[in-house]
Amino acid sequence: MAEFIGLVLEECPVNIDDIAKATSDDPLLRSIQQRVLMQSWSQVTPAEEPYYLIRDQPTTIDGILLFGNCCVIPEALRHAVLQLAHEGHPGRDIFKDALRRRVWWTGMSKDADKFAEQCSECWRRHTNSAQELMLSEIEGVWQKLAVDLVCIEGQQVLSIVDYGSRYPELLPLSATTTAAVIDRLMEVFARFGLPRVLVSDNGPQFA
Ligand SMILES: [Zn+2]
């Protein structure tokens, strides 16, 4: 048993001493620890109820509460644990599975969902991959165009290349303003029709 608990503690994502300290600073977990030690579950408060329901499972060792083979994480360390488990921004299932294998607290699944929903990096990746998927699905002639401003022998030129046919257009610009770029694009679209997607380097004229 001691060896098993040692393994559990080794796998715990945060420092064991920090968990023990935060557990003793957490009035609810301190009370649960007492109840586990005393095997006494009389007059359970509403906050203690979830622990009462699993009362055959918790054990306590070295100041840490264990539920099954998971460390019970005090509230003060939950955010840090979520951050650790979310390193590398895994998908939600992998993220929650990593948590479930090592740690436990009441409402952990909901907290993990909320954490993942609020992660800006996950949002960025999700949006980019959705855009990439959309762009990769677009095929055919004059559906997707790459536009850019280039300088040829001192003359500013709007370069347009069609992804579908590799057809290039080079159009001299009177000025490198947004209005001049729009004028040139409108001329080209009047001749060939509107594409579905324009890909640019996000220069100010294309914003
Ligand atoms: Zn993320």
How many angstroms separate the alpha carbon of residue 118 from the centre of ligand 1? 8
Distance CA 80, CA 74 (A): 11
pLDDT of residue 33: 93
**What percentage of the chain has pLDDT greater than the value 70?**
90
Ligand 1 centre and the CA of 89: distance in Å? 4
How open is the CA angle 32-33-38, to the nearest 5 degrees? 95
Calculate how far, in angstroms, residue 11's C-alpha sits from the geometric centre of ligand 1: 22
Domains 2-122 and 144-206 agree in fold = no
CATH class belonging to 144-206: alpha beta
Residue-wise pLDDT for 146-191, tens only, equals 888 888 888 888 888 888 887 888 888 888 888 888 888 888 888 8
Which sequence spans correspond to the domains of the chain? 2-122, 144-206
Q: What's the CA-to-centroid distance between 126 and ligand 1, angstroms?
A: 10
Query: How far, in Å, from the CA of 83 to the mean position of ligand 1?
Result: 9
Q: Return the CATH number of 2-122, one of 1.20.1530.20, 1.10.340.70, 2.130.10.10, 3.50.50.60.
A: 1.10.340.70
Model confidence band, residue 107 (pLDDT cutoffs 50, 70, 90): very high
165/131: higher pLDDT: 165
Residue 127 CA to ligand 1 center (angstroms) comes to 12
Centre of ligand 1 from the C-alpha of residue 114, in Å: 11
Q: Which residue has the higher pLDDT, 6 or 153?
A: 153
pLDDT the model gives residue 26: 96
At residue 11, the pLDDT reads 59
- Distance of CA 117 from the midpoint of ligand 1 (Å): 8
For 59-104, what is each residue's pLDDT tens digit? 888 899 998 888 999 999 999 999 988 989 998 899 999 899 889 9
Q: Which residues pair with 124 in a beta bridge?
A: none
Distance 115 CA to ligand 1 centre (A): 8
Q: How far is CA 63 from CA 69, 106, 127, 140, in A?
A: 15, 19, 44, 66
Query: How far is ligand 1, taken at its centre, from the CA of residue 14, in Å?
Result: 19
pLDDT band at 32 (very low <50, low <70, confident <90, very high): very high
Q: Residue type for 102, please?
A: R
Please say if the pLDDT value at position 47 is more than 90. Answer: yes
- The sign of the dihedral angle between the CA atoms of 113, 118, 124, 128 is positive
Burial letters 21-41, b for 16+ CB under 10 A, else e: ebbeebeebeebbebbeeeee
The dihedral sign for the CA sequence 97, 99, 105, 111: negative
Say how many Å lie between the CA of residue 20 and the centre of ligand 1. 28
The 3-state DSSP composition of the chain as helix, strand, coil percent (nearest 5) reads 50, 20, 30
- Backbone dihedral region for residue 65 (phi beyond 0: left; psi -120 to 50: alpha; all else: beta): beta
Q: Could you give the CA distance from residue 121 to residue 104 in angstroms, rounded to a whole number?
A: 25
What spacing in Å lies between the alpha carbon of 134 and ligand 1's midpoint?
A: 22
With H, G, I as helix, E, B as strand and everything else as coil, classify residue 89: coil
Q: How far away, in angstroms, is 104 Cα from ligand 1 center?
A: 20
Q: CA 9 to CA 17: how far, in whole Å?
A: 10
Radius of gyration of the chain (CA): 30
Q: Could you tell me whether strands 155-162 and 64-67 are parallel, antiparallel, or unpaired per DSSP bridges?
A: unpaired
Report phi then psi at 158, rounded to 5: -90, 120
Which is nearest to 19 in space by CA: 95, 83, 71?
71
Is residue 2 very low, low, confident or very high in pLDDT (cuts 50, 70, 90)? very low
The confidence score (pLDDT) of residue 41 equals 92
Confidence of residue 13 (pLDDT cuts 50, 70, 90): low
What's the pLDDT at 12?
A: 59
What pLDDT, on a 0 to 100 scale, did the predictor assign at position 16? Answer: 84
How many Å lie between the centroid of ligand 1 and the Cα of residue 119?
5
Could you tell me the distance, in angstroms and rounded to a whole number, from the CA of residue 113 to the centre of ligand 1?
A: 11
Q: What pLDDT, on the 0 to 100 scale, is given for residue 108? A: 95
